[in-house]
Structure 1
C-alpha cells in the first residue's frame, strides 16, 4: 500500500491544497496525518475540513489539543498562544468536535503513528540519534512515523549498532525494509529545515520504501492570510525562509 504521510499543517490552506494535489498525482492509496492541523496559520477550518475529507487516519497534535482546551495555553510560546486563542474563536463547532475525536498516537496500522514520539506522543522533539535510540527502545512496531519537529528526517537502528540519522531533503528515497526506523515527513504548513516548500512523505508498506517530497505552494498568499487575520507578523515572516 502506498501511503502519503503529512504532518504539522498548522492552518496553512495554501500548502495543504498543493500537497493534496501532489498526493493525488502520485496515486497514493491512503493519506495519514500526524497532527497539528491548526495553529499559526489563518485557515484552520479549511485545513480541518480537507483532512476530514481526505485522510484515512489523523492524529491530534499539541496545537490541536491547545485549541480544544486540553493543554494550557501558557505552555506555548507567545506567538503560538496568540494563534491558539485566535483559532479557538475562528474554528467551527463541527471542526472542533472532530479534533476532539483524535488521539496523539495510533498503533494498529502497518507503521506506528505518533504526533511527537513513541516516548511522549504529544511533546517530545526527536532531533538527535540519542533521542531516537531511546525511542527505539519503546517503539510498538519496527517502523514509526512522527511529526512535531517540522523537520524532514529519518533515524535507523540495526541489531548491535547505535542509532544514526539525519535530515532528508526532497527526493531522498530509502529502503526501510530492515532494522528499526523513525521517519518524519516534515511540515506541510511551517517547515523549519531551511526549505520553505511544503514537506510530505510517501511510504510503501509492501516494498517498505520511503520517499520524501517537497511541493511548491503560494507562500506569499499564506503569509498575507496570516497578516489579514492580524495574527503575529512573525508567523508570516518565517514562511519564506523555511524557519
Structure 2
C-alpha cells in the first residue's frame, strides 16, 4: 500500500506468547497515556470506583512530558501492559543505539527521562495479550494491530485489511490503541474496539477529556474529565523539547475525521 511503513514491528526476537489471563468479570482498558499525569490520575480514580478487577494498558505509556512518573504510578497497580511503538522506541534508543531522528527532538531527550528500571519495565512488556472477559470471551489486546505496533486501525479500516491483520488470531474481539480514537464496531467476523487515549485523545468533545473503556459483560466506552490547565502547567515544567506540540494536541485535538483520513492513507505510522 502506498504510504505503508514496510517494517512490521511485532514481537521482540525470541519473544514468547504470554499465556491467556483470566477469567475476569470486569476489565478496565486504557491506552496512550503519553506521560499525562493529571489525565491518568483522573481516569484511575474512576476505574477504582468501577469495580474493575484488572487494568489493561494498550501501549504508549511513555513518550510524553512525565514518563518516569507515569511508569511509577502504574507499576504497583493490578495492571498488565502491552508494548506500544513509543515504549519500543525508548528501549531501542537506550539499548540498541538507535540514532535520534533529526526532525524528532524528543529522540535525544527521552532516554534521559527513564531510569534503568523504567527501561527494563518497558522492555518486559509483551507485544500482545489475551484476557478472558466474562460475556466477551477471549479478548486480544495489542497496540497497533496483532501484526505490528505501528498499524493504524480506525473506524474506517476495511473488512479486507482487518482480515489480513487478524490472520492466525483465534480471538474475535480485538482491542487496539495507537490511533488515539475511541470506537467499538463490527468489522467482518470481528469486533474492533479502541478505548481511546487517556493523555492525547483525538475527539470532538471538550478539551481536557480522557477516554477509556470497561469490558464485561459487554463494552462500555467511557470519558473522564481532567484538569487541562494543570496538565499544561506540568508539561511545561520539565524541559520537554516537544512540549508545545503536546500542549496543542491537548488543547486543540485533531478531529476523528482528520485522523481517520490520515491514518487510512498511511496504514502504518511510527
Change (3 A) 1:24 1:108: closer
What SS class does the counterpart of residue 76 from structure 2 fall into?
helix
Aligned to 1:35: 59
1:186, 1:216 → 2: CA distance? Answer: 14
The Cα of 1:63 is off from its aligned counterpart by 0.6
Q: Is the 8 A contact 1:66 1:73 kept in 2?
A: no
Q: Is the 8 A contact 2:131 2:140 kept in 1?
A: yes
2:245, 2:157 → 1: CA distance? Answer: 31
Aligned to 1:115: 143
2:183, 2:99 → 1: CA distance? Answer: 28
Q: Tell me whether 1:235 sits opposite 2:265 in the alignment.
A: no
The Cα of 1:210 is off from its aligned counterpart by 0.3
What TM-score, normalized to structure 2?
A: 0.73
The Cα of 1:82 is off from its aligned counterpart by 2.3
Aligned to 1:46: 69
Q: Is the 8 A contact 2:146 2:165 kept in 1?
A: yes
Aligned to 1:149: 179
Q: Is the 8 A contact 1:51 1:58 kept in 2?
A: no
2:121, 2:130 → 1: CA distance? Answer: 20
2:78, 2:61 → 1: CA distance? Answer: 12
Identify unmatched segments of 5+ residues in structure 1.
158-162, 164-178
Give aligned pairs, total: 215
Aligned to 1:194: 204
Identify unmatched segments of 5+ residues in structure 2.
1-24, 133-137, 255-270
Aligned to 1:85: 108
Change (3 A) 1:108 1:215: closer
Aligned to 2:228: 219
Q: CA RMSD in A?
A: 2.1
